[in-house]
Structure 1
Amino acid sequence: MTTASAIQPRKLGRTGPAVFPIALGCMGMSGMYGPADEPESLATIHAAIDAGVTLIDTGDFYGMGHNEMLLSQALRFFREKVLISVKFGAQRGPDGAWLGYDARPAAVKTALAYSLKRLGVDHIDIYRPARLDPNVPIEDTVGAIAEMIKAGYVRNIGLSEVGPETIRRAAAVHPIVDLQIEYSLISRSPESKIFPVLEELGIAVTAYGILSRGLLSGSAISGSGDIRNRFPRFNAENLARNQKLVARLAEIAAGKGITKSQLAVAWALAKSRSIIPLIGARTRTQLAESLAALDVRLTPDEIAAIEAAAPADAVAGTRYDAHQMQVLDSEK
C-alpha cells in the first residue's frame, strides 16, 4: 500500500482540519454486529493509527459507554495523533432498547461531560448530535455545542443524518465541518438533495455504511445480537435480490484484481474529495483490505459501469426499518 506520507489528506469541510482520506468507525467493536474481540479491536485501532488514519469515530451510546472506554485504552499514548469524533443524544434502556433522542442544551453538556470522562481527554475534536431531536430546534443544539467550543471542550461541530433545511439552519448558527450519513453504492439517496447543499456550504461528508453493513463485502449475520436482523435489506427475500447486484460488482472487482470491499471503498473515494469513507473495520485484516483501496484508481468510465451494475433503484429494501426511515430527517 502507498505509504501514509505519500497520501494526500482531505479537508474536513471548509473550516475543519485536514484528515487521512479514510476514517475508522468503532461502533462494531462494541457488540452492534454480534460479539467483538476486545484485544483485536485495540490492535485494529493501533494498526489504523500506524497506517496514518487520523480520524476515529465513536458514539456515547455504543455499548452504553463501552466504545468510548475502549478508545480511552487504545489512545492512551496516541491522543495527539488522532481526531476524535463523538455522536451523542441517543437514549437507550438497560436492555439496549432505543428510547429516542435528547438534544436539549443541558443534555448536550451533560453528555459531553460524561464522554470527556470516559475517553480520558480534555476536549473532543468533532461533536455531533446522532440524530435530529424533533422536540428541540437544531439552533439550540448547535448553540449549546458552540458554547462548549468557546469553553474549550470541543473543537468542531458535525451533524449526522439530517436533511438540507436542518443543515442550513445549523450552519447559520456555527460553521459545520462535516455531515455523517450513510452513503454507498447501494445507498445513494444523499446525492440528489443533500450533497449539493453540503458543497454550497463547504461541508464534508464522513460516509458510513460504505460496505452496506457487510452486504457488499459478503459478511454474514452473526446471530440474534446482530443489528442487521432489523434491517429490511437483510431479510431473506431482499437479501437474495441484493446479492445478485453484489455478484455483478464482484465480477467488476475481479476484473481489476481487487476485492468487492476495495471496489466499494475506491468508488466512494473517487466520487468526491469532500467524502471521507468511515470504515467500520473490527479486525486488522478488514482494515488492511479497506486501506488498500487507496491504491485503486477508477476512471470515469469505470465509475459509470460500476453504478450501472448496481442501480440505486434496483436495491431491495430500505436501509433502516420503517419506523427509522419515517423519523430520519435525512429521508424527508
Structure 2
Amino acid sequence: MKYKSLGKSDLSISEVSFGCMSLGDDHAANKELLHQALDQGINFFDTADLYQQGQNEETVGKAFSGMRDKVILATKVGNQWRADGSGWDWNPSKAYILLAVEASLKRLQTDYIDLYQLHGGTIDDPIDETIEAFELLRQQGKIRHYGISSIRPNVIREYVRRSSLSSVMLQYSLLDRRPEEEVLELLRQQGIGVLARGSLAQGLLAGKPAKPYLTHTLEEVQKAAEAVQAVAAGQNGNAAAIAVRYVLQHPAITSAVLGIRTAQQLEDATVAASAAPLKAGEVQALEAVLPASKYEQHR
C-alpha cells in the first residue's frame, strides 16, 4: 500500500481508503471487514454523523475500540437530524458543529477526530462562523484537521481563500471529470489534499449494466466502461482497479475513498492499491472516449 500526506497536514493516509457509508447493521461483520482492510494496509476510514443516524459512526467506533492509534478516522458534520427522524436539515452553524462533535466523539469512542469535514455547503452559509467552529475544535484538541466535502467550485474557492483546511472531498471519475476544469489544479497549487469519492461511478465502470449518468447517455457510459475493460484486459483484468487507478493518476488526488460493504469490494480495493500506475497511453485512451464535462451550477 502506498501512503500520501493529506495536503500540508501530518496525516499520512493510504491512497485507497475505506468509505464506511455502505456498512450494514451487523457490528461483528463490520468489525471483521474493517480489520481485514486495516490488515491490508488501509488506514483511513471515512464516515459521517448523517449515515444511519449515527449508527455508522458507532459501528466504526466499536470496531476500532482499543486500537485508536492504528487508524485515521474522518467524519462529517452539517446535516442535523430532525427530532422525529423524518429527515435532516442543513445546519453549518458554529453552535451546531460544537454540539454535534461531542456526539460523534462518543459514538466513535475517541477523544479526537483526525479529519472533521463539513458535509456539504452553499455559498450562502455563514462560512466564517463555520471556520471559527473548526478552528476552535482544533485548538481544543478535539479534531486534528478539518476539511469540506463539496463539489461546488464557488464554495471550495471560498474555503481555500478564508480557511486553513487540509482537504476537500469531491466526486471524481472517468465519467465525472468536472473537477479537472479548475478545482483540482487550485487545490494542488494550494497544497490541499483531495479525497476522491465515486471513482467507480456507481459501479458503472466496474461491470454494472450501463445506464445514463450525469449528462452522459447510456451509450456514452457503455463506451467508457468498454474502454476501462480494454485497459484492464491488458493488466490484471480488474475493471474496478483500472477505474480507481485512473483517479489516482491525477497529481492532485491524495486518496480514492471507496464504498466497501463486502469482501469482494475490499478485494477490488486492495487490487487497485497494488496495481501498477496507468501508462500515459492508457490514460489517453480512456480520456479519448468522452470529453471532460464542466460544472453547470455553483461556478
Residue 16 of structure 1 and its aligned partner are, at CA, apart by 4.0
Instruction: Give 1:306's aligned amino acid.
Output: L
**Residue from 110, 120, 123 that aligns with 2:109:** 120
1:191 and 2:180 matched: yes
Residue 97 of structure 1 and its aligned partner are, at CA, apart by 5.7
Residue 135 of structure 1 and its aligned partner are, at CA, apart by 4.6
Q: Counterpart in 2 of 1:69? A: 58
Identical counterparts, % of pairs: 30
Aligned 1:128-147 pairs, distance under 5 A: 128-133=117-122, 135-147=124-136
SS across alignment from 1:139 = helix
SS across alignment from 1:309 = coil
Cα distance 1:133–1:192, how it changes in 2: closer, same or farther (>3 A)?
A: closer
Do the aligned partners of 1:22 and 1:278 also contact (CA within 8 Å) in 2?
A: yes
Residue 220 of structure 1 and its aligned partner are, at CA, apart by 6.8
Cα deviations by residue, 1:197-223 (Å, 9 ceiling, x for unpaired): 1022110110000111222123479xx
Does 85-94 or 163-172 show the bigger shift? 163-172
Residue 190 of structure 1 and its aligned partner are, at CA, apart by 0.4
1:303 and 2:283 matched: yes
Do the aligned partners of 1:157 and 1:176 also contact (CA within 8 Å) in 2?
A: yes
2-structure distance, mates of 1:97, 1:182: 27
Cα deviations by residue, 1:248-279 (Å, 9 ceiling, x for unpaired): 32122112232110100111122226431001
1:23 and 2:17 matched: yes
Residue 167 of structure 1 and its aligned partner are, at CA, apart by 3.2
2-structure distance, mates of 1:274, 1:46: 25
SS across alignment from 1:265 = helix
Do the aligned partners of 1:40 and 1:282 also contact (CA within 8 Å) in 2?
A: no
Instruction: Give 1:268's aligned amino acid.
Output: V
Count of residue correspondences: 298
1-structure distance, mates of 2:32, 2:83: 29
1-structure distance, mates of 2:180, 2:252: 14
2-structure distance, mates of 1:217, 1:96: 35
Do the aligned partners of 1:13 and 1:274 also contact (CA within 8 Å) in 2?
A: no
Q: 1 or 2, which has the higher helix percentage? A: 1
Do the aligned partners of 2:27 and 2:63 also contact (CA within 8 Å) in 1?
A: no
Instruction: Give 1:114's aligned amino acid.
Output: A
SS across alignment from 2:222 = helix
Cα distance 1:150–1:207, how it changes in 2: closer, same or farther (>3 A)?
A: same
Cα distance 1:247–1:98, how it changes in 2: closer, same or farther (>3 A)?
A: farther
Residue 173 of structure 1 and its aligned partner are, at CA, apart by 4.3
Does 184-193 or 131-140 show the bigger shift? 131-140
Cα distance 1:96–1:304, how it changes in 2: closer, same or farther (>3 A)?
A: farther
Q: Counterpart in 2 of 1:33? A: none
TM-score (norm 1): 0.81
Do the aligned partners of 1:11 and 1:274 also contact (CA within 8 Å) in 2?
A: no
Cα deviations by residue, 1:17-69 (Å, 9 ceiling, x for unpaired): 22121111101115xxxxx6654432221111111112110010101111001
1-structure distance, mates of 2:277, 2:108: 37
SS across alignment from 1:279 = strand
1-structure distance, mates of 2:113, 2:141: 9
SS across alignment from 1:179 = strand
Cα distance 1:209–1:78, how it changes in 2: closer, same or farther (>3 A)?
A: same
Q: Counterpart in 2 of 1:213? A: 202
1:270 and 2:249 matched: yes
Do the aligned partners of 1:43 and 1:284 also contact (CA within 8 Å) in 2?
A: no
Cα deviations by residue, 1:224-268 (Å, 9 ceiling, x for unpaired): xxxxxxx9629xx95465234312321221122321101001111
Cα deviations by residue, 1:153-176 (Å, 9 ceiling, x for unpaired): 110011111544433432444421
Residue 300 of structure 1 and its aligned partner are, at CA, apart by 0.9
Cα distance 1:257–1:295, how it changes in 2: closer, same or farther (>3 A)?
A: closer
Do the aligned partners of 1:123 and 1:152 also contact (CA within 8 Å) in 2?
A: yes
Instruction: Give 1:283's aligned amino acid.
Output: T
RMSD: 2.8
TM-score (norm 2): 0.89
Aligned 1:153-192 pairs, distance under 5 A: 153-192=142-181
Do the aligned partners of 2:224 and 2:286 also contact (CA within 8 Å) in 1?
A: no
